[in-house]
Structure 1
Amino acid sequence: MSYDPPTRADVVVAIVFHSGYGHTARQAEAVRHGAERVPGTSVLFLTSEEAQSRWDDLAKADAIIFGAPTYMGSVSGPFKSFMDSTSKVFVSGAWRDKIAAGFTNSASRSGDKEVTLLQFVVLAAQLGMHWVNLGVPAGNNQSTGSEDDLNRLGFWLGAAAQSNADQGPDLVPPASDLQTAEQLGERVAKVAQQMARGRIPA
């Protein structure tokens, strides 16, 4: 006879992000929608500035998803300030064994977004967290592909979006990039559920 371990009523997925012009905020909202699709998941939605006064709430989260625009080939300055402020978390070990993931946006298709994602990965590793990748195959890489494909930019570490510099957040990122971000949120929530179940004694 199979045995299903008991489950907690909720896992908490925190999304901590900075958005300079509103484009990355739209991406963050898409991540949120994806996570909320998973039953038994609640979302803590914070800007990187707000997060610096919510350490106790973040300590209770099962997963933390980092998000920031890529400026000049790197994570944005305000988000870097948040990263630096996690030194107290590093010392306490409060985020050890939590799930981590990330997303970023820039005006260029590449824009060195991988550098920003790698900064998130290193931060997560320093804090003892477990990184979850996007888990969506690269799209738009064959003659039959299209800009409507999920993961059309072909990133693996996290969700990437591209927003034309001369268009506002009411128009970009495009729907395919937002749907890709939703996939990341859903994946992280599912992994957080799996980890939470594994922590419950049989």
Structure 2
Amino acid sequence: MRTIEDVMALLDELSAPCGGDWWDRFYADRSREVPFFVTKPDENLAGHVERGTLTPGRVLDVGCGPGRNAVFLARNGFQVDAVDISATAIRWAGERAEGLDVRFRHGDAFATEGSYDLIYDSGCFHHLPPHRRVGYLALLDRALVPGGHFALTCFTAEEGTFTPDADLYQRSGLSGGVGYTPDELRWIFQDLTEIDLRRMTEEPPDSPRFGKSFLWTALFRKDVQ
């Protein structure tokens, strides 16, 4: 090994994260009864927009999947860049967003350049092995404008794998995703100001919003220095 990226690649192998090929297979069958295959936006995101906590501006949707939240934001006046490592998901998202101003991109969201008023992540963070949090935090530091917001949904400790970071490498896999406690999320994102951190509201099947109580929802702000 000669570079930091060599080290990261080795740790990727030890933790067996899901790559683009795995996610392509995951999104290939659209008939599967997977909760977030719906077209509904997350209830927390919709609520923040409707209450005016989040106002139209430039948005980066990290790990956008089939684009349900990106489409919602575009319909509400946001300028949206949406990135996912699955080409299959990006094609599906493009079909959903026909006629809307959403720039979907297949690739590494953490290599994104530009400045954003909002960075949104629904379900990407909990699929990252611990060492990849470094690049995640670097993205927030680099791309989020002062006064901008970072919003997140991720697994609770009951839903995801809840184990010390070192054990994730010894067991060779994330077992479907990493679960977090509120205090862990506060520690990881301690450079941002917490606005809201709660369990997602469980929404009924006929609700226009997506909500599952096995997820945390969080909203942070990058303070103006």
TM-score band w.r.t. shorter chain: 0.3 to 0.5
TM-score (norm 2): 0.40
TM-score for both structures, normalised by structure 1: 0.43
Q: Relative CO higher for 1 or 2, CA cutoff 8 Å, sep ≥ 6?
A: 1
